[in-house]
Structure 1
């Protein structure tokens, strides 16, 4: 049974970012790293977007960025500058290629393409189809969805979507302006919006996204995109790529699953913002903090700290779960009454208490007071 200093289970964003940082930092050059991932990661299977101030460490693989955005809801539309933030897009395939380039330059990384069957926390053993491996420290992004479903203390919603990269005959898109959220579509008793990432005047990634308890039949996602496209007068168009995803929106305390030698990371570690499903930027920030933390040789179950933002997200989820048919109104109020810069700061958990109080006061107070009372009593 082979032993490694660090074993990373899962090659999604969190696993690949952590592995990249470990093998690129000379502090860990004498440590051996094992990354286990079942998929080959050779397809453009997803798109990551995030907002960031100034230049970032991944700018070399950012394929498109925007400084202007649109938010739309029924009887409301706002065009706004994202300054001082830039909204950035990274294609999955470019992210994977960047990692593959890094791993060829380092000798202390072993990449194993196989299925993980189980992780034994007591013996720090990862069991796979290609053998068992021991790690001094184990990091896993493998999410047990059933655990969230069966845990009734906190609501569970899902951010679920289908996106299509579309090439149109007519030039109908503004390549300098992203449609951040377009709620001006049939809501059908749940929270639904379109998300448009224009790459050129005639090419865009269009995602039909929901925040709701249950997924839809695939045909409903597709037909909704078709109807949205019809309203834009695209002329003939073709679908170049299709992607889909499901991200849990839960205030479950994932940190309770950590041990001194095992840390859950990514969505499995609670790095997804529960109220919106945004993950990538927080994952990028968390991996930087984690690498610094590892240099101090402290127990992994002391890495995560409690935050008041967790409670804000819990209340927002309670309200969104109870009033899922009115979710568009929540986001409409947010953009009507607050500066975009403050919204991005809030979603990034960077606001101060005064900004947060002001933000909360823009929502329907009765809903949030009821959620607050229910949590305490």
Structure 2
């Protein structure tokens, strides 16, 4: 990748296609460091723009996203299948929530205030290589055609179909932002996985609770399985979780969110041309075994900015090969039913020091640490699966609409 250089008026060093978590995170990093001039192409208002979304990640705080953070939690909790709670303190890390509207407002303001920043509301029609860089052809809300030229294009739009995979599950969910009549939540504790819900015949299910105040929280029902539910099915599962498990008493639902995230060992193309790159879920940033994307997007954005600054040849991978190999084994073990999902994830939290576990989930542990974690999992089923996975064929799976959000 050649170092970026300033082009003529009306061009940018970089065009970012898509204004979701990945696109805006990269633009934020590039204008914040002054590495490149940036044009972000976002869909105009209308059906092409997604509804407000929630993104969560763990961080030690003090990053440049503090203004967009809605809430933080110093403690994490898991409820095992038997109902027993396990609370861990991952200090100095905290779990953080970012709402897409606040994130967009923050990055849009930074783009407006940066000499090399630009936000364009238009529909990106085509992206292709041209001599000396790449171009994006767009249609404005008024129907006018624009052609943007740049040294590089980073495209975050969803793929029309997922690449072939050996294993593909879906993380699908629906959440309610609830308001209770009495205080029912502890604002210091985020419930990451609550397995006190009926388990599906295939895959696993859990509740997810992010308190915003003693009487307000995001309450979600999530499944890892092959096919999504219907909205009435999610509503029934959420109602059971809120009333029978959490026993919230009288409450109202202020708003809802729903989504599907691919959990797949597919090989995502990071480069689709000499000067065109994929980022976000389309570029493989979603962690296959957990569905977490936002933290990986931040790391990947930093790595891309460093590569542009230093003139390195390629954009690095969002996740390391070793982490992806471990995820492929876990996905297969879950999909075949060789391991009990609720017991597996509860055991990870129960037997692994919190900071090490978070590093493991982020793909930042050493081989020695991973070996120690592996010995505390069902060794026989995992070993059998590890020996099987390299010989499995990759095949095409259905690709439902995807979006980034917490698991």
- Taking structure 1 as the reference length, the TM-score comes to 0.91
Higher share in helix: 1
Contact persistence 1:34–1:111 (CA under 8 A): yes
Contact persistence 1:44–1:91 (CA under 8 A): no
Instruction: Specify the alignment match of 2:126 in structure 1.
Output: 118
CA distance in 1, matches of 2:113, 2:293: 28
Contact persistence 1:8–1:140 (CA under 8 A): yes
Alignment of 1:222 with 2:219, yes or no, is no
Give the SS at the match of 1:375. helix
After superposition, the Cα gap between the structure-2 partners of 1:303 and 1:334, relative to the gap in structure 1 and judged at 3 Å, is closer
| 1:45 CA drift (Å) | 0.8
Q: Which digits, 9 at most, give the CA deviation of each residue in 1:95-135, with x for residues without a partner?
A: 11111221221243332222223322466332333433333
CA distance in 2, matches of 1:321, 1:18: 34
Structure 1 vs Structure 2 CA RMSD? 2.3
Contact persistence 2:329–2:382 (CA under 8 A): yes
| 1:166 CA drift (Å) | 0.4
Alignment of 1:183 with 2:195, yes or no, is yes
Which stretch of structure 1 is more off in the superposition, 286-295 or 153-162? 153-162
Contact persistence 1:175–1:199 (CA under 8 A): yes
Instruction: Specify the alignment match of 2:209 in structure 1.
Output: 196
Alignment of 1:82 with 2:90, yes or no, is yes
Q: Which digits, 9 at most, give the CA deviation of each residue in 1:16-74, with x for residues without a partner?
A: 0111222233343xx3x221111549987111111112432212222211111210121
CA distance in 2, matches of 1:109, 1:249: 34
Aligned pair count? 370
Q: Which digits, 9 at most, give the CA deviation of each residue in 1:306-350, with x for residues without a partner?
A: 531111111111112222893222212212322222211101112
Provide structure 1 residue ranges, at least 5 long, that are not aligned to the other structure.
none
Instruction: Specify the alignment match of 1:134 in structure 2.
Output: 149
| 1:3 CA drift (Å) | 4.5
Alignment of 1:38 with 2:38, yes or no, is no
Alignment of 1:159 with 2:171, yes or no, is yes
Which stretch of structure 1 is more off in the superposition, 273-282 or 306-315? 306-315
Which stretch of structure 1 is more off in the superposition, 309-318 or 249-258? 249-258
User: Within 5 A, what are the aligned runs for 1:1-377?
Assistant: 3-28=11-36, 31=37, 33-40=38-45, 45-75=52-82, 76-121=84-129, 124-130=134-140, 131=145, 132-148=147-163, 151=164, 153-189=165-201, 190-231=203-244, 232-255=246-269, 257-300=271-314, 306-323=320-337, 326-377=340-391
CA distance in 2, matches of 1:301, 1:307: 15
| 1:296 CA drift (Å) | 1.8
